[in-house]
Amino acid sequence: MTVTQAREVRSARIESVRGLAALLVLGGHIYGGAHMYRPEIYATFRSRALLGGGFGVFLFFTLSGYLLYWPFARRDLATGERIDLRRYAWNRALRILPLYYAVVIVVLVLQEHGGTGEQWWRFLLFAENFSSRTVGRVNGPMWSLVVELHFYALLPVLSAAIAAVARRSPARAAVAVGTLGVVSFAVHRATITHGQTWKFSLPVTFFYFASGMLLAIARVAWERHPPRLPAPVLSASLWLAAAGVLWLAVWWHYPLEPLMAVAGFLVVGACVLPLRPTPLLSLLDWRPLALVGMVSYSLYLWHFPLLQRLERTTWLPGGYFALLAIGVPLCLLVAAVSYWIVEAPFLRFRGRWAPSAPVTITPGDR
């Protein structure tokens, strides 16, 4: 099943995964905001699970790793098809910059009372992650956009290096990406107590992108030589259930957060690999959830300042359930309006940058 986004035909399942990730992050911030992030909210598994929706951001990283690396992996390990790097850069800019700058300007003017000089130059230059005075502040979720931007810029160079090592072998490519992922995980563990400026950086988070890149390599290898695996292993439901178990483990013990890289591999893999379709997987074809995925970028960037505004509104009923009942529909409404006003006009200027890119243009719309 597909959905159309600004003349682009997209996988409904992939969009649904985006929607789930955004809704999980929204739910986590609603719970945390309703309890003012007091230390006691970490005391029970129920509280950690409700707050732990914020780990959905790492699912976005895995999606980016797979979707953006897939054309490079197919070019370097299979077809040798041409990739238009100028179009790639143009598409990435159209995807993230217009909405990012719109949110930065609105939040600094209205929420930060005009903002400081440092806030302006750091946020406008995507440099907020490099100072403890701005990282995770103003609009907390924006830190991940800086990491995403760095991944976008590095990917063409990184893919060329992987191709040189792999020499068209998926196995060697997987070893190269896996090694980079292990190095990133080692940096993550070594810098875990070194403050937020390290925590919110590409070297520390790259292994989440690597899980998606490994999935792209696995798909290339699968198409070349379909693996002979036991029937239960080929069940999409098994992959999704295993991912659910890993989510529960992370909620049980937050230091197990790196397991989200494996969970992301399983969730996205269930959607893009030729596994056996199951009723559980078909839930991701639900159109309303896919539509949430289409506006997930707006939902992700707008929800935090909206929730902060609601939390400071004294005439609204307080408590978690009140914030949930008011915050979810409000954030979805603002996200939908933001998508149509800010995102969609720019997305219509995008075009294909590789023949195997997951996005296709509707015939007749060029």
Segment holding 10, helix H or strand E: strand 8-11
Q: What is the pLDDT of residue 146?
A: 97
Query: 223 lies in a domain?
Result: yes
Query: 35 lies in a domain?
Result: yes
Query: 65 lies in a domain?
Result: yes
Query: 23 lies in a domain?
Result: yes
Dist CA 279 CA 308 (whole Å):
38
Dist CA 254 CA 61 (whole Å):
18
Query: 47 lies in a domain?
Result: yes
Chain-centroid distance, C-alpha 138 = 20
What is the pTM assigned to this prediction?
Answer: 0.94
pLDDT digits (tens, 9 = 90+) for 203-254: 999 999 999 999 999 999 999 888 888 888 899 999 999 999 999 999 999 9
* Mean pLDDT of the 4-11 span: 77
Greatest Cα pair distance in the chain? 64
The angle subtended at Cα 139 by Cα 138 and Cα 144, nearest 5°, is 130
Query: 291 lies in a domain?
Result: yes
pLDDT digits (tens, 9 = 90+) for 60-99: 999 999 999 999 999 999 988 899 999 999 999 999 999 9
User: How many domains, in total, are found in the chain?
Assistant: 1
Q: What is the secondary structure of 329-350 as a DSSP string?
A: HHHHHHHHHHIIIIIHHHHTT-
Which of 278, 310, 300 has the alpha carbon at shortest distance from 60? 300
Query: 300 lies in a domain?
Result: yes
Q: Are 361 and 8 in contact (CB under 8 A)?
A: yes
Which of 150, 180, 143 has the alpha carbon at shortest distance from 165? 180
Q: Give the tokens for residue 335.
A: 């996200």
pLDDT digits (tens, 9 = 90+) for 284-322: 999 999 999 999 999 999 999 999 999 888 677 778 999
Residue with tokens 């178990």: 245
Query: 366 lies in a domain?
Result: no
Could you tell me the residue range of the domain that residue 14 belongs to? 2-361
Q: Give the tokens for residue 245.
A: 């178990």
